[in-house]
């Protein structure tokens, strides 16, 4: 077995602001180290859900509390989770007024109907005991009122456990100022995908990620090339040539991790028994 490994990200599109990047590094390191310890006694599936839950709870990131607001000033969030061992995928799209969309998506893995949207997703969450929560922070509301553009961001995590099982989860508040009803890639397999060989979580502009089927293609290419790194080396330049705005992190069954973006800085941190690896 390759041993435990975890990689998390907080999005791409960040500019070279040293204060922002320093904050991102500190927050990601804390969550990565906490969840790598968690992985020692939990499955990869439990770990990616926990990592994304912590990212959703940090208003610095665009997921859960602190999500970007759509054109009508409401936060509609999307999240998905996939078990590479079983091939099961659960997701919520445009869910409102829950604290942790990723946990609702995780609960759906046990259902026959595993992808729910909007009011149906919210009603399911309430039946499952997820209480009412307002994810809109004062800072996001202020920026929305000023019609100030946000940086593109999404959060995600991929992990492999001591049994060699891969899992991945992704969550987002969207790109900000989008039309109500717009669907993000983060609640779809094209933005969040895992197999028994590799797992990938995407970030960037959802439409570009959907049209490239990015996470699925990364995982398939990793399998064909027997390396997640080679998959990124081939695919990221290809989508950059097509002027796509997207990035991703990935992990393969050998515990090797990789990442790449066509946008400004991708913030990601990976952890193995050998220590931390950072993208920025």
Tell me which residues are annotated as active site: 154
Note whether 166 and 195 are within 8 A (CB).
yes
Among 267, 94, 51, 50, smallest CA distance to 186 is for 94
Measured CA to CA, the distance from residue 155 to residue 248 in angstroms comes to: 10
- Main-chain phi, psi angles of 266, to 5 degrees: -95, 125
Helices (H) and strands (E) in the chain, counts: 8, 12
3-state secondary structure of 157: strand
DSSP letter assigned to residue 149: P
Structure tokens at 51: 């990592």
Among 186, 188, 185, 133, smallest CA distance to 157 is for 186
For 101-120, the DSSP string reads HHHHHHHHTTSSS-EEEHHH
Residue with tokens 């931390």: 276
Measured CA to CA, the distance from residue 213 to residue 210 in angstroms comes to: 5
């Amino acid at each position: 077995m390759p041993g435990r490994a975890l990689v998390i990200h907080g999005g791409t599109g960040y500019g070279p602001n040293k204060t922002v990047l320093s904050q991102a590094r500190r927050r990601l390191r804390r969550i990565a180290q906490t969840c790598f310890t968690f992985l020692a006694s939990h499955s990869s599936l439990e770990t990616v859900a926990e990592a994304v839950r912590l990212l959703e709870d940090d208003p610095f990131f665009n997921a859960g509390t602190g999500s970007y607001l759509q054109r009508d000033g409401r936060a509609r969030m999307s999240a998905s989770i996939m078990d590479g061992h079983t091939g099961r995928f659960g997701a919520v799209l445009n869910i409102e007024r829950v604290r942790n969309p990723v946990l609702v998506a995780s609960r759906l893995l046990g259902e026959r109907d595993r992808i729910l949207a909007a009011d149906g997703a919210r009603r399911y969450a309430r039946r499952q005991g997820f209480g009412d929560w307002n994810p809109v922070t004062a800072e996001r509301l202020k920026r929305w009122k000023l019609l100030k553009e946000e940086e593109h961001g999404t959060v995600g995590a991929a992990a492999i456990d001591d049994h060699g099982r891969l899992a991945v989860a992704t969550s987002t508040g969207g790109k900000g100022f989008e039309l109500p009803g717009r669907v993000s890639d983060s609640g779809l397999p094209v933005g969040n995908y895992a197999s028994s060989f590799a797992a990938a979580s995407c970030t960037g502009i959802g439409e570009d990620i959907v049209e490239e089927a990015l996470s699925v293609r990364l995982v398939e290419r990793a399998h064909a090339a027997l390396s997640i790194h080679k998959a990124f080396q081939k695919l990221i330049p290809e989508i950059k040539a097509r002027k796509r705005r997207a990035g991703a992190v990935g992990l393969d069954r050998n515990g090797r991790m990789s990442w790449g973006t066509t946008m400004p800085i991708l913030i990601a941190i990976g952890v193995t028994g050998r220590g931390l690896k950072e993208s920025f």
